[in-house]
Amino acid sequence: MPEKILVVDDEREIADLVELYLKNEDYQVYKFYTAPEALACIESTELDLAILDVMLPGTSGFAICQKIREQHTYPVIMLTAKVEETDKITGLTLGADDYITKPFRPLELVARVKAQLRRYKRYNPGAGLPEAENLEYAGLCMNVKTHQCLLNEAPLILTPTEFSILRVLLENKGQVVSGEEIFHKIWQDEYYTKSNNTITVHIRHLREKLGESAGYIKTIWGVGYKIET
C-alpha cells in the first residue's frame, strides 16, 4: 500500500509540482491549497507524512504542524520562503522534523521525504525490527520495537526525530556523539553543514520534555552530546 502524504501550499504551481514528483514515486498525495481543507484531511485520513508551507492565508503552517502533533507522530517537513533562522527554529520547536527553504529542487524534497519515511518505519511498530529492544538509563526506558518511551514510568511523547536522537544517545551511553554524526545517522543524506542548527533545536526540545531530568543530555562544547553513564 502506498504511503499517504499531505501537501499544503497556497502557491498552486509549487503544490502541483510537488504532487507530480511524489506521484512519480508512487506515493498517494492529498494536496490542498488552504489550511481548513488540510485540517479536515488530518482529522479524517491516516497519513504517513505531511509537507506544510509556512506562509498560508489565515492559519499558518506552524499552526497545522502544532495541530498534527497533538495527535500524531508521523514526520512533518516545513517549506519556508523566508531565510530567517527564526522560522526554521519555530517549526522545529513545534515538532517539525525537517525544513526546506524555497526555492528548492524537487528531487531534494523527494530525497528528504524518503529519508523521513525510512526512519519513521524503522522506529515504529510493524517495521520488522527484532524482538523487543529496550534501552534504559536512570528512569528513562525506550522500547525501540514499539516506539514507546517512559520517564519514571510516565509516557514521554516524542516526535519521530526526537525519538531517533534520544535513541542514538542511549545507544552510545557515555560516549560523545557529534551533531554531524547524529544528523547523518537520522537523515542519512549529505545536506549537513556546520551552520545547521537542526540538531541543537531538537536537543533543546528534548530537554524541555525531559523536564527536571534534562541533565541526562550533556553538551560537550565544540564536540557534541552524550548521555552520562
Contacts of 3 (CB under 8 A, 6+ apart): 27, 28, 48, 49, 117
User: Which set of grid coordinates corresponds to residue 224?
Assistant: 557534541
In angstroms, rounded to a whole number, what is the distance separating the alpha carbons of residues 214 and 182? 18
Nearest to 3 by CA among 109, 147, 105, 114: 114
Residue 43's H or E segment, with its range, is: helix 35-44
Cell 495541530 locates to 67
Q: How far apart are CA 224 and CA 207, in angstroms?
A: 15
Rounded Cα gap, residues 101 and 81, in angstroms: 6
d(CA 229, CA 216) in angstroms, rounded, equals 9
Locate 211 and state its grid cell: 523536564
Tell me the pLDDT of the chain (229 aa) as tens digits.
Answer: 899 999 999 999 999 999 999 999 999 999 999 999 999 999 999 999 999 999 898 899 999 998 998 888 889 999 987 666 666 667 677 778 888 888 899 999 999 899 888 877 765 544 433 444 788 888 889 988 777 888 888 888 888 888 888 998 998 888 898 888 888 777 665 454 444 577 888 888 888 888 866 678 888 888 889 987 5
Predicted local distance difference test score (pLDDT) of residue 86: 66
Write down the pLDDT at residue 81: 78
Provide the 3-class DSSP secondary structure of residue 137: strand
